[in-house]
Structure formats: C-alpha cells, structure tokens
Structure 1
C-alpha cells in the first residue's frame, strides 16, 4: 500500500492523477492546464495508444475534440493500482463510467489518497452514502460542475448571501436527444438512465438551493422499465413550488437544452440554452428581474465551458489545503441528489 499522501502546507498546488481517459477525463485534462491551484501529474489507461498520448478519438457534446498530448512530464500507468503506488499524488480524479466508481474510490481511499469523483457518485443512494463515508470527512468529493457554471453559480451565490432574499420557487429543465453512442444508457447497473446520468445535475442544484424535499411526485414515460421522460414536483413543508422536467426526446433535432426560472423573495432569475442539429443555438441569456421593475443582465465572462471545470478543480485543491471540504463537492450532498432521483423512479 502506498504511504498516505496529503497536500503539504509548503506546497501550493494539488497534484492529481486521472483514471478514465474518456470525454470527461479529456475535459478535466484541459481544466488542469488552466488551473493555478492544481497540476495533473499522472494518468492511467489500459489503452496503449492513450498512454502514448493519442487522445484524438475522444469526442463529446461540448468543448474541443481530443488531441495528441505530450506525456513526457506525466506519470503514465496501465492500471489504477500502479498509479496509486505513486506517493507524489494527492488526489485521484475519477472519470470512469459510473459502475466503476465504487471500486476506484475504495482503492484510492485505502491507498491514502483524496478523491474527486465525477457525478454520479454511485448508481444507488445506498452505495453513494457508503462511499461518502469512506476515509476521513471530506476525503471523497464529487464533481457536480453545475454550481461552478456562472449561469447556475449565480443562483448558488444568491441563496448563500441572501442578496435577493430566500429562494421561494423554481422550475428546471434538462433534455437531450437519444444518446445512441452509449449503448447501455438505460441499464440501471451500468449508467442508470436519464435520472441518474442527466437529471442528477438538477437534483443536486435543487438540494443546494432549497434543501432536501420531504417527498416528490413524478410522472414519467419509461423505456425498459427505466424513466425516460419525466416531470416532477418536489414537496417542501412550507409549500414552495419547485419542479423539474426533462429526459430524452425521440429526435436528434435538439441535441441538448437546459435552463431554469428561479424566484427569490426580491427577484426572479431566468436562463435557458438549446443546441439544435442544424448547428444553430438559442439562448435566453441570464436575466435578473428585480421586484422594483429593473432588468439586470450581468456579465458572465467569455463563455468558455472549461472555466467551470477549472473552478471545480480549484475548489477541490482548496478543500484539501484548508481541510474544509467545499459544500458543493460534499459526498453526502451528492448522495442526497441520487436519493432524490431514486424517489422519482
């Protein structure tokens, strides 16, 4: 077993190793190149071409396609077990398919590493709660990126500092075209379907903004017994109306859309984005509708999607440095999000 690795106070930058060189592994790689708090120092892959730096076959639904990367300054391993023996690594960045998360987390924590695991933490709430308790508090962090995106982060910041009062209502949407490139998308033992893979983003955000609902009421269309398209009402003791909908539509014409309208006591915030098959996009830019009638359109930066992942990695590095895990990366909160999704199914 590798000796326990912690981030020394004398060393400013977190040192990470990626396991899972697919689309999210590539996005995380790009984010490390821009981070001023975290360095990618290693990765592992069973694929020899990827170990040699050929990541050109990687593609996803945002960001640039994979490229040939320079691996000369990286520790390159053919297995997670081999990478865990590298005592210079502080954190294992898990970008594997969901069904492989548990084994990778268990091994990493046993080796004395911190963990940042891509969402979902697990395929069931029971497994997620168990994994969130491994190691010391905060050792298992979960990469729910939505709160780090400026369009959604503004909601989180406003709920935290009370600038508009308390959040009192919300409508959320998240819809994709058929994910034909994932043959086991609806398999509950592998990917988990739209609720666990897609809606978990909004379940996590709702949990952050409004707290844990007492119950949910959901209607859905199913595929192979798994919810495919759904609308859900989240019930709170004080009656706040919170709803979310989406899933998979049977057409590739609209590849992706997400958005929301969230009301606070003193303002309503609206945002929506959609991408269509003709390569045209439609956006309702984030707008704040103040109670006094003012319309505010805040500047959210250059729109580079990688920036949100940089913020996420930096939050993980700061969590290790300070010993206080960011609430947005907390494994227990991620487990709550999966519980919400299970209630809907």
Structure 2
C-alpha cells in the first residue's frame, strides 16, 4: 500500500485512525493529512503538514484547489513526455463532514484526484465509517470508489468478508485489492501513538498546521524554488511570513496560524512576566502545553524582537 489509493472503512473504536497511521508511515514523498479535529502528535513523523485544524475549512478548500492545479500540471507534463513525478499523498478521515463545509468546486477537484491522480502519483488515503457512497459523500458517483486499489475493512465490515476473524479483535482486518479475493491482515497497535489511549505520548517534533506548505510540494518545483535553489522547510521556531501588524491580522508561524486575539494574549502575558508555560496556558487555554504551542509563542515574541518592538509599546 505504499503507492496507491487506499480506503479504510470501520466503525468508531475499530481502529480506523490507527490503521490509517500505519499506512501513512509507509508512504514515500510528501504526506499531508486533513484533520479538522487534530490533536497534536496524532499522526506519524513523516507527515509534512496537517490541514483544517480547528475547523479551518478554508484551508481544506485551498488544499483541494491546489490539488486540482497540481493534477493539471502533471497531465500537461505527461503530454510532454515528462513522467518523473514525485509522490504526494493526502490522507483524510471522515469526508462527509467536509462535503457540508467545503465549496462544491473544490470537492470536484478532490474527486478528480481520486479518479485520475494515481497514474500521476497523487494518492489518497480516505477513512470512512460506511461503504455507502451517500455516507462517504459520493452519492450518485459510486464509480469513484472503484479507483481505490486497496480497501482496508475493519470491525464488522471485515467479519462480513471473513467469518473466521475474531469479532472482538480490533486488530483483525481484511484487505480487498481491486476485485481479488479478500486477504486477512493484522494492524499493529501502539498505545503511545493513540490519542485515545492513556499511554499516549505526543512527539516533540510536530508538523506545522494550516501553513500552506503543500504549495511548495508541487512536483514541478519539488524541493526547488523558482531560482532552482533548494526549498528549506521552516524549522521549529522559524517564521513562515511576517505580517505588517500581527495584532490586527494575526500571523502564520512555523506551527500554525495565531489569531490577533492570541497575539494580544501572548504579549500581555509576556509583559506581566509570566513564564513560558503560563504564557501558553494564558493564550491557548489550560492544559494546552505541547511543542506546537511552544513554538507559536516563540515565533510571535521573536517577530516583535526582530522588528524592534517592545511588548509594552504594542497595543
């Protein structure tokens, strides 16, 4: 499953997200995850960016529009006999929610990628709680599902295909490759990677969120900018952009967007002399201490230091 469309189907608590994580780990090239309900540390280390965090469906829409453009670019390149495409995978859990909140045109681009993307090394991993096209958000377009080379079935969906599976085993699954005979497989489970487990331990090196880094992943410029110089992804703490006035417009940091009100809270807490972890809590809420929020605070404070502004002069 390293290079193909994959559909993962399972009811809640059957291990769908865990199965998606295991498939994602084995992906080459750029991996982008769409997850409006993201919890930091929920996805593997090879994920380049998480899009749609905190219900930012405008970012999801932008990603889908970009995917449509990238598919067109690759089609044009293939017509010129340029077929050395770098792989890009977009993983999305629970598409039905997106169908209600993302513009129809952007969703059409997404469906085009499912239909045609595999031959251009644009791959989709889609999680769903149902095999019904209406529930997945593809009512009247069941032909789209035939483009998933692998369907990974969990829970009752797996047992329906293979009655020998343990109905209580959340690691039992069945892979249906195209229209071949179903094959039983075992999904490894790691509690420290499962956000629902009390043993969950989020990584320190978290991916950026809602940062638009996928624009730099276009294959025609893959790892190169317009001057053919290597593209360097933002390191933790490195600013992606520097707005003229973050207190009015917010700012994009190396670990996600910080709103104007959050910028103000960071500056207020810093002026009051609060330690770093309390600045994070003051800004993002109690218990909101992790690598991503740490660097968001760092980036905001560094921006004002770099621009010669003191906290007390910014209002």
TM-score (normalizing by structure 1)? 0.26
Structure with bigger gyration radius? 2
TM-score (normalizing by structure 2)? 0.28
More strand by share: 1
More helix by share: 2
